[in-house]
Amino acid sequence: MGRMMRPGRPPSKRSQEGKQAMEVTLTFCGAARTVTGLCLLFEWGRQKVLVDCGMFQGPKTLKALNHEPFPFDPREIAAVLLTHAHIDHSGLLPRLVKQGFTGRIHATAPTVELCSCMLPDSGHIQESEVRMLNRRNRHRGQEEVEPIYTAADAEDTLAAFSPVSYAEWITPVGGLRARWWNAGHMLGSASIELEFEREMRVLVSGDIGPDISAMQPDPTGPSGGVDHLVCESTYGDEDRPEIDQAARRAAIAEIVRDAAARGGPLLIPTFAVERAQEVVMDLVGLMQAGEVPETTIYLDSPLATRATKVFARHAFDLEEGQALRAALTSRRLEHVVDGEASRRLARQEGFQIILAGSGMCEAGRIRHHLKARLWDPRCVVALVGFQAEGTLGRLLHNGVKRVRIQGETIEVAARIAMIEGYSGHADQPELLRWIEARGPVKGGVFLVHGEPEAMEVMAGAIPGISPARIIRPVLDEAFRLAPGAIPERLPARPGRRSHPENVGRPDWHNERAALLLGIEAAIERAEDETERAALIARLRGALG
């Protein structure tokens, strides 16, 4: 007769006599030594589950990964667990569905609402960018390309979403329990706790918010320890000064006053979701208090306009909800939806405040505003968030004097300012405190969603965990996880994408742009026609 088991008792450990120890394979399909594209593949038994399915953003070589085949079969994925709505975490979900995924996408209710705005907008951007690219390709005699997905594909994806509540366990597939913890990063953001066969717990941080935020609570998470932890490291090498809301408003007020004195526009490249609404709240509050000159605040982003409605519905769930709701309905705020209206705005003279996407200046309407204004010393550009390596925003932050936008060379004469305090990411001390509160971590700590330098510094700062258990995976690298054990690195799989160690670094597109700018500058510096002709001759000789 078989051994009797009590009702409701967890199954016995597989590590007991005659049974194999519980094992899970974790593959890092994105955000490995770069800050975008988070996608984690968990496999155990016959089950396969993703945490996030994000779009790669930044240098062109990195963005090209969005067009490559997934390193797994989407038809075999049973479910997706989504940490939050930002495109670098959710942006490839429509492609996943388009290629055969039929499971459910589990996320908090605000995340579901925001994705209903953001994913169709992302599809529209894919279509728009491909139209422009194909126009250039036809002129160059090159083949046309297809968008990664369309707005219609994104709309179809929304039917797969299932809302979850914070701190409540769900069973997305057999053998897995999961629950979401408020990560304090943006509306609806979460860390996700995974429990496999009731034998092993893995915690995925998602993006962790700072301790001081005008809109979000402090990040939370489970206590009592986990077997393995996957943690973001965006600011893993920085200890930023603590900037409260008053200090942040004082900083942006100084910049607004400077822009008004110059008589030109204040351009604020901004992420359409949360960052735009937070900046608008501060600007309206400063104008109401008489601390800065009044002017129209143009929100030049259809996505930000749609997201604003979601924030208005959830305003009273946020810490500054009443002030936010008042700001979002202020007469000083004007929404710019039509593309032609945006182009007219780029030609409009005088002091005004324009918020437009994208936050790293890599796409969207901010690029035609920058193209029209960067040469003008009356213009002020205020960066209010992280600028990834290789992006136009990072180049401006680094103080370059010339940039190329849409194939044209633009002199940078505008003032470029950086405002601290708007970042949605925790810095190193905050990340370390969050990790410590989740401890003890019995197995491994995986650092993701960060540049290599930030990861290296953070890895050396995590207390109480041996270096052998702190891992910085590269793209498509896989590990075997077991309860309480050091993760085991697995051999490279067939189909692994090339040069994973270089993902996210400045690429040949960046080098080409820098070279062209250098050639133009050298030719202009030449003293006379003879010197210019000699320089051009040497360049031609170098090209063979």
Q: Is 461 exposed, middle or buried (0-12, 13-18, 19+ CB in 10 A)?
A: middle
Pairing of strands 408-411, 402-405: antiparallel
Do residues 386 and 235 make contact, with C-beta atoms less than 8 angstroms apart?
Answer: yes
Q: List C-alpha distances in Å: 30 to 52, 99, 339.
A: 9, 18, 33
CA distance 258 to 518: 31
CA distance 445 to 468: 10
Do residues 468 and 492 make contact, with C-beta atoms less than 8 angstroms apart?
Answer: no
pLDDT at 457: 97
For 444, phi then psi, to 5°, come to -115, 155
Region of residue 346 (left: phi > 0; alpha: psi -120 to 50; beta: else): alpha
Looking at the DSSP bridge assignments, the partners of residue 27 are 41, 478
Q: What predicted TM-score, i.e. pTM, was given to this entire model?
A: 0.85
For the chain, what is the radius of gyration of the CA atoms? 25
List the beta strands (DSSP E) in 366-477. Answer: 380-383, 402-405, 408-411, 415-418, 445-448, 470-471
The domains found in the chain, sorted by start residue, are 32-239+424-490 (3.60.15.10), 245-418 (3.40.50.10890), 508-542 (no CATH)
Q: What is the pLDDT along the chain (544 residues), one digit of tens a residue?
A: 333 333 343 444 444 433 456 899 999 999 999 999 999 999 999 999 999 999 998 878 888 899 999 999 999 999 999 999 999 999 999 999 999 999 999 999 999 999 999 999 999 989 988 888 888 888 888 888 899 999 999 999 999 999 999 999 999 999 999 999 999 999 999 999 999 999 999 999 999 999 877 788 999 999 999 999 999 999 999 998 878 888 899 999 999 999 999 999 999 999 889 899 999 999 999 999 999 999 999 999 999 999 999 998 888 788 788 888 899 999 999 999 999 999 999 999 999 999 998 889 988 899 999 999 999 999 999 999 888 778 899 999 999 999 989 878 999 999 999 998 888 899 999 999 999 999 999 999 999 999 999 999 999 999 999 999 999 999 999 999 999 999 999 998 776 776 555 565 566 666 766 777 777 777 878 888 888 888 888 888 887 7
CA distance 369 to 356: 9
Instruction: Retrieve residue 405's tokens.
Output: 């936008």
pLDDT at 4: 35
Running DSSP on this structure, what letter comes out for residue 414? S
Question: DSSP per residue over 287-325, as a string?
Answer: HHTTSS----EEEE-HHHHHHHHHHHHTGGGSTTHHHHH
pLDDT at 11: 44
Question: DSSP per residue over 118-143, as a string?
Answer: HHHHHHHHHHHHHHHHHHHHHHHTPP
CA 341 to chain centre: 28
CA distance 528 to 339: 44
pLDDT at 495: 67
CA distance 204 to 214: 24
Instruction: Using alpha carbons, select from 470, 492, 489, 494 the residue that is nearest to residue 479.
Output: 489
CA distance 280 to 320: 13
Looking at the DSSP bridge assignments, the partners of residue 8 are none
**Cβ atoms within 10 A of the Cβ of 163, count?**
13
Half-sphere CA count of 288, side-chain side, radius 13 A: 14
Q: Which residue has the tokens 């041996």?
A: 466
